[in-house]
Amino acid sequence: MKKLYRITYLSVLTALLPAALIAGNGERAGSGGATELLINPWARSSGYGGFNSSSARGVEALNLNVGGLAFTKKTEVVFSRTNWLKGSDVTINSFGLSQRISSDGVLGVSIFSMNFGDINVTTNDRPDGNVGKFSPQLINFAVAYSKEFSNSIHGGVLVRGIQQTIADIKSSGFSIDAGIQYCAGDLDQLKLGISLRNIGPDMLMQGDGIMSTFTDPTLPFSVEGYRKSQAYQLPSLLNLGLSYDFYVKNDHRLTVLGNFTSNAFSEDQLGIAAEYGFKKFLMLRAGYNAQPDISNKDLSPTVYTGLSYGATFEVPINDKGATFGVDYAFSPTHVFDGTHVIGARITL
């Protein structure tokens, strides 16, 4: 049976690899939509730069590789708040819950809310505003199931509802993620991961905000109608990850990670990261996005410099293995004052 699972894992991997050759087209940058799906809102994995798709566990696996959800022992609750591009007044609040529902199955849910604050309404007649305010909001809600197929293979699937609202225009849709993680070694120190994310139908903006008044010189009256709205595709991607744990007397651990991301609407990414852990209490981590020119402010393909840092402090809260942890991550940027993420988790 274990041999069958390994064959299945390799077959899925082989089937998905061609997607990596199709994606990664920089010429399509900016032509997709719902790019908030590319934002990782969780503090612990943000410290890696999101390059831990091979080793993401529990709730945080919902945004990287849903296969890692199956590692939830019993219950995990996570909350995080992101000060996105500090100085822009944009914040992200996220909540996630994972619950083991059988000996080999775990159910997970999460909600992501991105808020832009109040923005002045302007019109052609009132370009200075003072006619009201509106508050754009992006909300995603995910439900996932992950299963332990064997001691080595864990896989899962996720369905995410997507809603974008700005004034009197909104768009709704859904996407599907799938992921597999494979562990090997006496201490599961070698980890491989593959995940396919943000696969779904095109989305379309709708609402009274796209209504306009049309005039025709041949008619004595004007006509109101909706302008045609262009549909946009979701930012699908493929993650391939690898990590290895080095242990020193079981008290000290050094984990090195690598991750390749093939994007449908931007250049591919190659990321590396490392984490030092002292027992299970203290963890320090860092990651680097090795995209060309990313450190050059004028040529960088992203607002980020490529670096990311993070730390975790976790303590036991009872003698049954329950813990409470605080996570923090920082990603410097070329403009604004970087992105800060702080999170808290309870693991039962």
Domains of the chain and CATH, by start: 2-203+231-347 (2.40.160.40)
Answer for the pair 342, 327: CB distance below 8 angstroms, yes or no: yes
Write down the pLDDT at residue 253: 96
Write down the pLDDT at residue 2: 52
Write down the pLDDT at residue 20: 46
Answer for the pair 140, 27: CB distance below 8 angstroms, yes or no: no
Q: Taking the C-alpha atoms of 281, 76, 318 and 105 in order, what is their torsion angle to the nearest 10 degrees?
A: -110
* Local confidence pLDDT in tens for the 348 residues of the chain: 555 555 554 555 555 555 444 445 555 666 678 999 999 999 999 999 999 999 999 999 999 999 999 999 999 999 999 999 999 999 999 999 999 999 999 999 999 999 998 888 887 778 887 778 888 899 999 999 999 999 999 999 999 999 999 888 899 999 999 999 999 999 999 999 999 999 999 999 888 777 776 677 777 777 666 677 888 999 999 999 999 999 998 899 999 999 999 998 888 999 999 999 998 899 999 999 999 899 899 988 889 999 999 999 999 998 888 999 999 999 999 999 999 999 999 999
